[in-house]
């Protein structure tokens, strides 16, 4: 879930960014821009003071691995699968009352994903926390054997 007040801020930032793009103030995104960013990030990673920030290094490695996938459709399917998995995991790990509160205020995309997961019968965090612990197989087998023994000792009162 997003922190309180961050939705409006994100919306405002996105609107300002889109306005700059539509006015032509920002350059169009292209492979050249990607290469420039990658080169700048590679230089930063090599500097000793930035080596402690592994996020930059990890992002560069991940971007490099993704760019090695030449089949564009395969690359997008991979990104799609990862993002859907992360989105579903994030939605199911947040408590239901927070999603309900969010939906009451207009909702967030994550809350809508949680709602779909719940309606489809998926397990959310609350479901997982409230589920009883599974019994051990030996205990379950003993109970089944006891029930079977009770069935075997039918006294035959129905036949009278």
User: What pLDDT is stored for residue 82 in this prediction?
Assistant: 93
* Boundaries of every domain in the chain: 14-68, 72-131
Nearest to 66 by CA among 82, 51, 43: 82
Element (H, E) at 15: helix 6-23
121 burial (CB, 10 Å; 0-12 / 13-18 / 19+) is exposed
pLDDT < 70 regions, the chain = 1-8, 10, 17-18, 20-31, 33-34, 37, 41, 44-45, 49-57, 126-127, 131-140, 142, 147-160
pTM of the model: 0.49
User: What pLDDT is stored for residue 42 in this prediction?
Assistant: 72
Could you give the CA distance from residue 47 to residue 60 in angstroms, rounded to a whole number? 14
């Amino acid at each position: 879930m997003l922190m309180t007040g961050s939705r409006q801020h994100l919306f405002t930032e996105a609107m300002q960014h889109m306005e700059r793009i539509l006015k032509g103030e920002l350059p169009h995104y292209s492979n050249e821009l990607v290469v420039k960013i990658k080169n700048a990030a590679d230089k930063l990673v090599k500097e000793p003071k930035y080596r402690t920030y592994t996020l930059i290094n990890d992002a560069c490695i991940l971007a490099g691995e993704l760019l090695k996938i030449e089949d564009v459709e395969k690359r997008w399917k991979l990104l799609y699968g990862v993002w859907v998995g992360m989105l579903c995991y994030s939605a199911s790990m947040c408590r239901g009352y927070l999603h309900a509160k969010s939906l009451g205020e207009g909702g967030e995309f994550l809350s809508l994903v949680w709602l779909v997961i719940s309606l489809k019968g998926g397990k959310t965090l609350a479901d997982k926390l409230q589920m009883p612990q599974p019994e051990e197989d030996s205990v379950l087998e003993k109970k089944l054997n006891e029930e079977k023994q009770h069935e075997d000792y039918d006294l035959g009162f129905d036949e009278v």
